[in-house]
């Protein structure tokens, strides 16, 4: 593949997407009026089941899925606009985020009818939550080197291994787990499969990983002789690598890859006003120009998904640029807060708390969803440089 084969167009939002945007903004206004959406003091997705249930009541989980599974049969660009608004407003959407963003679409694309009938309506109703079982302690972003294995036994599979950085594993119901089910000579990618693990199954031990921010979102999941039935297998045995590749396109390209730190930038803009120093406004303008470019790139990937394409390479580009932007945003805000003397003597306390949280949270930006080093290798291979 050459660089000229990249599909980064500039899609136009359909009228239905802008209509939905107005509906989402009205919903957010009600959330604020009813006290469900206080001004944020942290970055990140947040986890609140009540919020997820209210979003589900609007029909906004599984927005693009067929109606027979509880979906809305809307376009990927409409879903993009909805998520853009929810994230920019700092709504705590973490409960359903993984299930809506990638677990559901993986089941929709590769799952059998029974899996679709069982899981998808429950996800769309806000009653069923998933986490991601990919990374391992000694594998990191090199998924093909994973050591978790599943052995075929009577009536199902027996899993042994460890998964790490499993966000919200202690809060959710299921984990889609990538394991090795067979060994194929000469190929690390062949012989991998995806299995659905009920996290209440005997043999599953979930241990917390406390972040530098003092928060418990990450976990290590130990799987010791965990039995899952035959119907836990997603797609074909041995096809896990292809399925995961499609899944990562959903994970890496969304607006959460550049909007996690947006609330920090937004708070700074509200406080700075038009009378800031010219150098501060110039630096802020440069940052916002990068944000608008990222938005166009991310929308382009949503447009590709809408057309039934698998934009793995393009999603890697968006994720690499987006996470660098998020860390750059924290640096710029920190410098402008210092140069404008915005938080001295307790002034603008919420901005100060947001910035303090962002600075200890920011290292995760370039790790989650694949490290930037791994992503750049994927990009280099995709455009023929490796």
Model confidence over 231-249: pLDDT tens digits? Answer: 999 999 999 998 988 777 6
pLDDT in tens, 31-50: 999 999 998 888 888 999 99
At 6 the pLDDT is 46
Highest mean pLDDT among 16-30, 141-155, 316-330: 16-30
Q: How many CA atoms lie within 13 A of 183 on its CB side?
A: 6
Structural domain count of the chain: 3
Confidence of residue 307 (pLDDT cuts 50, 70, 90): confident
Q: How many CA atoms lie within 13 A of 181 on its CB side?
A: 21
Whether the per-residue pLDDT at 2 is higher than 50: the answer is no
Any idea of the CA torsion for 332, 337, 339, 345, to the nearest 10 degrees?
A: -160
**Statement to judge: residues 20 and 75 lie in one domain:** yes
Tell me what the mean pLDDT of segment 344-371 comes to: 82
**Statement to judge: residues 101 and 148 lie in one domain:** no
CA–CA distance, 142 with 139 (Å, rounded to integer): 5
Tell whether 94 is covered by a domain.
yes
Tell whether 248 is covered by a domain.
no
Whether the per-residue pLDDT at 5 is higher than 50: the answer is no
Tell whether 332 is covered by a domain.
yes
At 361 the pLDDT is 85
At 95 the pLDDT is 97
At 369 the pLDDT is 59
Whether the per-residue pLDDT at 382 is higher than 80: the answer is no
In CATH, what number is assigned to the domain containing residue 351? 1.20.140.10
**Statement to judge: residues 229 and 260 lie in one domain:** no
**Statement to judge: residues 122 and 154 lie in one domain:** no
Whether the per-residue pLDDT at 1 is higher than 50: the answer is no
**Statement to judge: residues 302 and 339 lie in one domain:** yes
Confidence of residue 375 (pLDDT cuts 50, 70, 90): low
CA–CA distance, 336 with 342 (Å, rounded to integer): 8
Whether the per-residue pLDDT at 57 is higher than 60: the answer is yes
CA–CA distance, 228 with 149 (Å, rounded to integer): 13
> Of 212, 239, 266, which residue sits at a domain end?
239
pTM over 0.75: yes
> Of 93, 111, 128, which residue sits at a domain end?
128
**Residue numbers of the domain that contains 36:** 15-128
**Statement to judge: residues 76 and 117 lie in one domain:** yes
Whether the per-residue pLDDT at 104 is higher than 80: the answer is yes
At 13 the pLDDT is 85
Confidence of residue 252 (pLDDT cuts 50, 70, 90): low
Tell whether 7 is covered by a domain.
no
Structure tokens, 360:
């200890």
DSSP code, position 259 = H
**Statement to judge: residues 140 and 114 lie in one domain:** no
In CATH, what number is assigned to the domain containing residue 205? 2.40.110.10
**Statement to judge: residues 112 and 164 lie in one domain:** no
Tell whether 246 is covered by a domain.
no
At 324 the pLDDT is 84
**Statement to judge: residues 47 and 110 lie in one domain:** yes
CB atoms closer than 10 angstroms to residue 34: 9
**Statement to judge: residues 258 and 368 lie in one domain:** yes
CA–CA distance, 293 with 289 (Å, rounded to integer): 6
Q: What is the mean pLDDT of the chain?
A: 88
**Statement to judge: residues 258 and 362 lie in one domain:** yes
**Statement to judge: residues 155 and 268 lie in one domain:** no
- Which is more confident, 328 or 170? 170
Tell whether 3 is covered by a domain.
no
Tell me what the mean pLDDT of segment 88-108 comes to: 94
Residues 6+ apart with CB under 8 A from 281: 272
Highest mean pLDDT among 3-17, 105-119, 318-332: 105-119
At 362 the pLDDT is 80
In CATH, what number is assigned to the domain containing residue 87? 1.10.540.10
Whether the per-residue pLDDT at 306 is higher than 60: the answer is yes
At 320 the pLDDT is 81
Query: In the chain, which ranges are E strands?
Result: 130-133, 149-153, 156-164, 174-180, 192-198, 204-210, 216-229, 233-234
> Of 91, 108, 128, which residue sits at a domain end?
128
At 378 the pLDDT is 64
């Amino acid at each position: 593949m050459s660089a000229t084969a990249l599909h980064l167009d500039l899609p136009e939002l359909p009228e239905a997407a802008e209509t939905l945007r107005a509906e989402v903004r009205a919903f957010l206004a009600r959330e604020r009026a009813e006290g469900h959406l206080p001004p944020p003091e942290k970055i990140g997705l947040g986890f609140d089941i009540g919020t997820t249930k209210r979003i589900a009541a609007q029909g906004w989980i599984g927005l693009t899925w067929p109606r027979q599974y509880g979906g809305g049969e809307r376009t990927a660009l409409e879903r993009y606009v909805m998520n853009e608004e929810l994230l920019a407003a700092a709504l705590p959407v973490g409960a359903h985020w993984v299930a809506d963003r990638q677990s559901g679409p993986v089941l929709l694309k590769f799952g059998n009818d029974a899996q679709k009938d069982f899981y998808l309506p429950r996800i769309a109703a806000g009653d069923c939550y998933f986490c991601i079982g990919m990374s391992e302690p000694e594998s990191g972003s090199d998924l093909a080197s994973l050591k978790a294995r599943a052995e075929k036994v009577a009536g199902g599979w027996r899993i042994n291994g460890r998964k790490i950085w499993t966000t919200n594993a202690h809060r959710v119901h299921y984990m889609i787990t990538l394991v090795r089910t067979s060994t194929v000579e000469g190929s690390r990618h062949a012989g991998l499969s995806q299995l659905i693990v009920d996290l209440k199954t005997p043999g599953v031990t979930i241990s917390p990983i406390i972040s530098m921010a003092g928060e418990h979102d990450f976990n290590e999941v130990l799987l010791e002789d965990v039995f899952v039935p035959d119907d836990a297998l997603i797609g074909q045995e041995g096809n896990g690598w292809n399925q995961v590749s499609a899944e990562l396109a959903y994970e890496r390209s969304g607006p959460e890859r550049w909007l996690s730190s947006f609330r920090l930038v937004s708070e700074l803009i509200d406080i700075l006003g038009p009378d800031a120093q010219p150098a501060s406004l110039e630096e802020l303008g440069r940052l916002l120009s990068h944000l608008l470019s990222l938005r166009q790139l991310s929308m382009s990937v949503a447009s590709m998904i809408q057309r039934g394409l698998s934009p793995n390479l393009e999603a890697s580009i968006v994720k690499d640029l987006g996470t660098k932007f998020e860390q750059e945003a924290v640096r710029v805000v920190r410098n402008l807060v210092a140069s404008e003397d915005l938080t001295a003597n307790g002034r603008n306390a919420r901005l100060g708390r947001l910035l303090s949280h962002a600075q200890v949270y920011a290292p995760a930006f370039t790790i989650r969803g694949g490290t930037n080093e791994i992503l750049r290798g994927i990009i280099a291979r995709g455009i023929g440089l490796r």
